[in-house]
Structure 1
Amino acid sequence: MDAHFARVLADEQDDAPTPGASAAPPASSSRAAPTAALSQQQLDALVARADAQELDQLDARSLRTLVQALERRVRSNALARAKHADAPERFLESELALHSELARWRHVAAAPAALLPELAALNAAPLLLGLFAHDNADIRLDVLALLAELTDAEDDLADADALAARRVWVRALLEHRLLPLVVTSLEQLDSAPGVEDQDEEAAGVYHALQILENVADLEPPACAQLCATTVVLRQLLRQVAAARRFSANKLYASEVLSILLQSGAAPRAHFMAGTVATGTATAPRDDSDSSKRRKQAGAGDLLDRLLQAIAPYRKRNPASEDEEELVENLVNALCSVLLLPAAQMHFRRLEGLELALRCLKDRAQYVFSGALRMLDLALMGDARNCARLVEVGGLKALFAVFMGKKKAKKPTATATATTTRRAKSEAKAKEEELTMSILSSLCALLSPAAAHDVFDRFHAKFVENDMEKLDRVVDVFVKYLGRVEQRDLAGDDDSDDDDDNDEKDENEDARYLRRLDAGLFTLQRATHVLAHLCASSRKLRAYVLVKLHEHRIDMDVLAQILKEQLAMLRGGDSDSDGDGDGDKDVTDTDGERAKMQAQRTLLVHLLSTLQAPTSDAASSAVEPKQEEAKHET
């Protein structure tokens, strides 16, 4: 067979490609040189049509034939390459045959998913994955494209049996090291010079990212394995770097990064392991010495790279809807990481708080809402970050947003009056939720013993300008109290006739979801702030009592809201203790329990101080005064 190929190539030596073109795909490929004769093109078309007819009705038997044919092509090509390593023209034909055989496998990707377990049983997974070691880059690109299709479950979402069958195939691939091979291929493609300008290599990067997304969708536990055993996080951050121009691959990489970091605590822990291990120096975004200090932070600092990818959007808006999606993905990734205390600490050291405050300067910037989310998660449970926010003058920007002093975004040209009103209403509700959450964190975590008078500076804000900010907190409380009560009344009308215990439990869950949708979270945070201010100062307590009385609301309403939240937390903690879910991430569970315990302690403290008169000691210790208000810079 090899002698025959050599004789044919010798007869057609004038038309044969040069030895340096050994990696070229066949004439039917977009990369092949258009030198083949017309009759050969016609013959290829006839063969392709015959192959399509042959594979039109794929079954287990024809699938076995296809696998055996690919095995023969792989062995033949390996033999030819081993025999004629110094003469690429001697194994060119076997390479073209292998490429054509892989093209035939596209029919398998289009076949019903029910055949995929049979494909796994035929050991097709190691056969295909073994081709990642092939010297010809075109063969590796063929395999990436094929696996991207074979792992795509988009057409199976409505069919549970099809999804189960595709999972069998994906698990077979995972058993034979699919993930490390794909990430290695991604590295190789991305390291090629000018990869962004080469369509074939760019397509290969896209297919590699598609495989990672498909695996994450079908086998979520594999996300932890992927982050633990490969450098995928580092590679994805390289793809989304600010220095790279926007492209489909940059958008896709941001999406995969967001998916991985939102999949559980383990990927986030691996992200921080790659961050803290490389340095802890600060790396500001804007200052004249930023490049020098960024180098001090370490080239491998993953959190710093993520902040650098977001930083350009503090000054400019995305140029398209796709680029807006990129920004959302990057912010989602960062917010997921900020769930870890170590990430909150490193975020402060990298001047992430300052970056978020700069993004809050202009509401017209697309990243504005994302910056509020960053601040909320960075402050949650971290007393040092709360103090740092006050130290760097963040109260001015925060209260400007809370008081509605920032200019609203301009509506897009295609937005209708109805959609614009709806978008404004949703954006305002989200801002109120986030700012109340931030204020709640500051109330809970700022200490009178903290340096730079941060405690007094924060409380003085509620006294200045005739207590306008305290008025705003009361207004938010009244607004969301009315919404939640209205939703309760509407829900009670639907559940009057339910007697079954299971139905009552379901209705209770549905009621809680309805209340959340009406703004229960914002109401609870506003209650925390009011209860804290009432407990901290007689003056503020008296003022709150008067304002609530104007709205015919008793102070007991605040206590009742706190009691309901405390009961919910205690019930949720007992449920999580009894679940015994061994698959849940232990680190994630411990973190959730610690946060719940801190919330319970806070609620008990607020209840005790709210239901008792303000003590003279507490009043004298924290009484804010108008003249103590610092001018925020």
Structure 2
Amino acid sequence: MILLFEKRALKNQEMRIKFPDSPEKFMESEVELHEAVQELHAVATVPDLYPVMVELAAVPSLLELLAHDNTDVAVAVVDLLQELTDVDILHESQEGADTLIDALLDQQICALLVQNLERLDESAREEAEGVHNTLSIFENLTEFRPEICADAAKQGLMQWLLRRIRLKMPFDGNKLYASEILSILLQNTPENRQLLGDLEGIDVLLQQLAFYKRHDPSSSEENEMMENLFNCLCSSLMHAPNRERFLKGEGLQLMNLMLREKKLSRNGSLKVVDHAMSGPDGKENCNKFVDILGLRTIFPLFMKTPKKNRKKVLTTEEHEEHVVSIIASMLRNCHGPQRQRLLNKFTENDHEKVDRLMELHFKYLEKVEEVDLEIDKERRDGDEETDEDEESNYLRRLEGGLFTLQLVDYILLEVCSGGPPSIKQRITQILNLRGGSFKTIRHVMREYAGNLGDVGDTEWRKMEQQHILQLVDKF
């Protein structure tokens, strides 16, 4: 089959060189070449044969055809590659998969696919399918070998994706797919977050999301694309310089408006604000958020978690976690008048915010106690606990509500130490009423300080630990 394919590719090339201006003379050889490519689909059902295919040098010949003058041939090759790299098929034969993917990467498949994407015209159905299949190849390759994300992005894929997302075309499956691939590239690859910033991708994402400030997506697919774009923004904000770009591009103002509108974009914007303000790199964004009257937006969401509607939204717990995390970040990062405005909120309306904090404290304390009981039961039934078990149990407790409890208690300590004495009186009163104790809060916070892990750099971590322990001693 491969021999026949090689012969036909060569014949077509010769005919095209011989009769460049008479398509009718090379047409037949083109149809035959197209058929030979189609026949190779049979190989995709037997991945054990991939090493043979690579040995017979079929990969360079196939990839060469991506630049064929006739886009139908290039699209047929894309279709074939998409099937050959299907992840389910690759998993059937580890040796076959590795051999094929090594050969494809040696021949610069990413750059060649991007060059072909540049020339495909999506108004033609076949070429639009070619774009979809090309994105599918990238998805297959990055799923099978996550480490190629950085190279693929550098070889022009990131630039093409940003352009495709920006295109003023009606929403379609390819725009959704482009947002998905972009999200994959940014998820675990720090170099790509930097690249996105350098390519002014933060502005592109904000421009695309601005539409959803006043409009809900018109279908579940479009909603998925909106969620992907929010995820891209969250991932890219983990690269500190992108936070500055986000601030300059008025990203905070846009997110603040989205939080006020009761649209589907509210959930995504809440996650983005949380990412933009967290950690030591969130200072500027925290102070700016207070300046643009963000407190008026976030505290109503803190006082009352929105009802979960039928559409895909955050769970109550996720919503509360993000809101509490945003308030904790502001208490950590705001200074001067902004900090004072924030602290004043907790004495308003007869300390209603403190009451709400205590309500959340008891809610999440109960959740953590349930998880602790389960873990204790497993310990009694099981063997000796290893360090790994201890770590996975801590993660389980964090997921089970400890993370939010730590943030709630951190806020309690901060407002107690920075606000008027009436706040501490109110906390004491509620603890006495409900049979709680300061000891529990201190214990939660000591554990939190001891597990600050890999947040920020070591210098910042030490300062943060000291700060928390000082608050605990004052409390």
Q: Pick the TM interval, shorter chain.
A: over 0.9
SS at match of 2:166: coil
Residues 209 and 229, structure 2, Cα contact 8 Å, conserved in 1: yes
2:440 to 549, 552, 557: 557
1:489 to 359, 369, 373: 373
Match of 1:390 in 2: 290
Q: Give the number of the structure whose alpha-carbon radius of gyration is greater.
A: 1
Residue 242 of structure 1 deviates from its aligned partner by: 6.9
2:400 to 502, 514, 518: 518
Residues 117 and 168, structure 1, Cα contact 8 Å, conserved in 2: yes
| 479 and 245 in structure 1: CA distance in 2 versus 1, 3 angstrom threshold | same
Distance 1:262 1:324 in 2: 19
Distance 2:138 2:222 in 1: 21
Partner amino acid, structure 2, of 1:366 = L
Q: Indicate yes or no: 2:198 matched with 1:267.
A: no
Residues 477 and 523, structure 1, Cα contact 8 Å, conserved in 2: yes
Count of paired positions: 472
Partner amino acid, structure 1, of 2:135 = L
Residue 556 of structure 1 deviates from its aligned partner by: 2.2
1:139 to 47, 70, 73: 73
Q: How do 1:360-509 residues align onto structure 2 when only pairs under 5 Å count?
A: 360-363=259-262, 365-381=263-279, 382-404=282-304, 408=307, 410-411=309-310, 427-448=315-336, 453-500=337-384, 503-509=385-391
Match of 1:187 in 2: 118
Match of 1:544 in 2: 427
Residues 361 and 397, structure 1, Cα contact 8 Å, conserved in 2: yes
Residue 344 of structure 1 deviates from its aligned partner by: 0.9
Residues 113 and 165, structure 1, Cα contact 8 Å, conserved in 2: yes
Residues 277 and 285, structure 2, Cα contact 8 Å, conserved in 1: yes
1:90 to 19, 25, 30: 25
Residue 490 of structure 1 deviates from its aligned partner by: 2.2
Distance 1:607 1:263 in 2: 33
Residues 47 and 89, structure 2, Cα contact 8 Å, conserved in 1: no
Q: Indicate yes or no: 2:1 matched with 1:70.
A: no
Residue 544 of structure 1 deviates from its aligned partner by: 2.1
Distance 2:4 2:89 in 1: 28
Residue 156 of structure 1 deviates from its aligned partner by: 4.7
Partner amino acid, structure 2, of 1:128 = L
Identity percentage over the alignment?
A: 34
SS at match of 1:105: helix
Match of 2:97 in 1: 166
Match of 1:566 in 2: 449
| 328 and 435 in structure 1: CA distance in 2 versus 1, 3 angstrom threshold | same
Residues 185 and 208, structure 1, Cα contact 8 Å, conserved in 2: no
Distance 1:510 1:341 in 2: 29
Deviates more, 1:480-489 or 1:81-90: 81-90
1:530 to 398, 412, 418: 412
Match of 1:236 in 2: 161
Q: Any stretches of 5+ residues in structure 1 without a counterpart?
A: 1-65, 276-301, 413-422, 574-591, 614-633
SS at match of 2:295: helix
Residues 386 and 441, structure 1, Cα contact 8 Å, conserved in 2: yes
Match of 1:322 in 2: 221
Residue 219 of structure 1 deviates from its aligned partner by: 1.3
Residue 604 of structure 1 deviates from its aligned partner by: 2.2
| 95 and 242 in structure 1: CA distance in 2 versus 1, 3 angstrom threshold | closer
Q: Indicate yes or no: 2:253 matched with 1:354.
A: yes
Distance 1:309 1:338 in 2: 17
SS at match of 2:261: coil
Partner amino acid, structure 1, of 2:413 = A
Residue 129 of structure 1 deviates from its aligned partner by: 0.6
Describe the superposition over 1:92-120 as per-residue Cα deviations: whole angstroms up to 9, x where unpaired. Answer: 221111111111111112x2222212222
Distance 2:88 2:253 in 1: 41
Residue 155 of structure 1 deviates from its aligned partner by: 4.2
1:344 to 243, 250, 258: 243
Residue 207 of structure 1 deviates from its aligned partner by: 1.1
Residues 307 and 352, structure 1, Cα contact 8 Å, conserved in 2: yes
1:226 to 129, 138, 152: 152
Partner amino acid, structure 2, of 1:465 = N
Distance 2:94 2:299 in 1: 49
| 521 and 597 in structure 1: CA distance in 2 versus 1, 3 angstrom threshold | farther
SS at match of 1:553: coil
Q: Indicate yes or no: 2:182 matched with 1:257.
A: yes
Partner amino acid, structure 2, of 1:556 = K
Residue 180 of structure 1 deviates from its aligned partner by: 0.5
TM-score (structure 2 length as normaliser)? 0.94
Residues 102 and 143, structure 1, Cα contact 8 Å, conserved in 2: yes
Distance 1:137 1:388 in 2: 51
| 143 and 378 in structure 1: CA distance in 2 versus 1, 3 angstrom threshold | same
Residue 606 of structure 1 deviates from its aligned partner by: 2.1
| 600 and 437 in structure 1: CA distance in 2 versus 1, 3 angstrom threshold | farther
Residues 194 and 242, structure 2, Cα contact 8 Å, conserved in 1: no
CA RMSD in angstroms comes to 1.9
Match of 1:629 in 2: none
SS at match of 1:221: helix
Residues 449 and 469, structure 2, Cα contact 8 Å, conserved in 1: no
Match of 1:598 in 2: 460
Match of 1:610 in 2: 472
Residues 436 and 522, structure 1, Cα contact 8 Å, conserved in 2: yes
SS at match of 2:466: helix
Describe the superposition over 1:380-408 as per-residue Cα deviations: whole angstroms up to 9, x where unpaired. Answer: 121111000000011001011111175x3
Distance 2:459 2:440 in 1: 23
| 405 and 507 in structure 1: CA distance in 2 versus 1, 3 angstrom threshold | closer
| 476 and 603 in structure 1: CA distance in 2 versus 1, 3 angstrom threshold | farther
Residue 163 of structure 1 deviates from its aligned partner by: 4.1
Describe the superposition over 1:165-210 as per-residue Cα deviations: whole angstroms up to 9, x where unpaired. Answer: 2132112101101000111111111xx3xx2x32111111111111
Match of 1:589 in 2: none
Residue 495 of structure 1 deviates from its aligned partner by: 1.0
Describe the superposition over 1:308-354 as per-residue Cα deviations: whole angstroms up to 9, x where unpaired. Answer: 11111111111221111111111111110011111111111111111
Residues 139 and 181, structure 2, Cα contact 8 Å, conserved in 1: yes
Distance 2:401 2:60 in 1: 53
Deviates more, 1:69-78 or 1:368-377: 69-78
